[in-house]
Amino acid sequence: MAEGPQTITLTTDFGNSDQYVSAMKGVILGINAGARLVDVSHEIPPQDVMAAAWVLKNSAFLYPPDTVHLVVVDPGVGTTRKPVAVHIGEQFFVGPDNGLFSLIADDRPYQAYELNNEEYWRVKLSNTFHGRDIFAPVAAHLSRGVPINKVGSRLDELVTYHWALPIADEEGIQGWVVHIDHYGNLITNISEELVHSVASGQKIKIYTGSTIIKEMSNTFGNVAEGEASAIIGSSGMLEVIVNKGNAAKLLSVEKGAPVTILVQK
């Protein structure tokens, strides 16, 4: 078999206290002992498809071409949801078809395949651990150079979810918290470009929960310790932060909460 991509990343909601991640790695290395395994995260909140999509959307496309991303956040394991492999850009993704990959692809073209060629599965299949029995072996075979059209049959369309889009006019922007990171920073769906197009050079107020932020900052260090502010984060999106504090906890804001920017006339 021809050699192919060697890097396989793993993203799950399994945590690190049980055997699940180790079992998948064991299966992978049994098929491709030369694979380079990279743990993206195993602390995705349980069944949180959007959180996994956000993490991968902002990291997967930084990897070398033909990296295989094994993604197992699978609330529908054992049901009729399809196991799939997806080619997006120059990257491969393997996991359940539950909307996650459509969020990663977003506006990128993709080719999707239903994993129905059991030649590339483990012989004994569990109803509750497809990560070990289907997804890990398929990812390993892809990393060895098996063509994606050999592991299954072509799908015309994935289960499709969409990121919520902010609403903007000359008076301001209405957005939402789409992700809360490890530090409690509130990452919104409001892009840097949208902030500049609506509010550049004008005084603004930012409302989230019961908090009002009167100006944006360039970085955490420009904010007094324990104070809330807003910055443009590394993802290029507006974030509400508390310097040396957890914004989600201190401001009592959860994912999905509105974040409003009003232009002061």
Is 149 inside any structural domain? Answer: yes
Assess whether 44 and 172 both reside in one domain: no
Assess whether 35 and 141 both reside in one domain: yes
Mean pLDDT on 132-158: 97
The total of structural domains in the chain comes to: 2
Q: Can you tell me whether residue 107 is helix, strand or coil?
A: coil
Q: Are strands 68-72 and 83-88 parallel, antiparallel or unpaired?
A: unpaired
Q: What is the pLDDT of residues 69-100, one digit of tens each?
A: 999 999 888 888 999 999 999 999 999 999 99
Residue 265 has pLDDT above 80, yes or no: no
Strand partners, 41: 11
Count CB neighbours of 27 within 10 A.
20
The whole domain housing 237 covers: 167-263
Is 1 inside any structural domain? Answer: no
Is 126 inside any structural domain? Answer: yes
Assess whether 127 and 247 both reside in one domain: no
CA distance 78 to 223: 48
Assess whether 173 and 151 both reside in one domain: no
CA distance 207 to 219: 19
| Greater model confidence, 84 or 221 | 84
Assess whether 133 and 107 both reside in one domain: yes
Count CB neighbours of 184 within 10 A.
17
Assess whether 45 and 136 both reside in one domain: yes
Q: What is the pLDDT of residues 180-204, one digit of tens each?
A: 999 999 999 999 999 999 987 789 9
- The model's pTM is 0.90
Q: What is the pLDDT of residues 2-49, one digit of tens each?
A: 344 599 999 999 999 999 999 999 999 999 999 999 999 999 999 999
Report the pLDDT value the prediction gives residue 78, as an integer from 0 to 100. 80
Residues with Cβ within 8 Å of residue 265, at least 6 apart in sequence: none
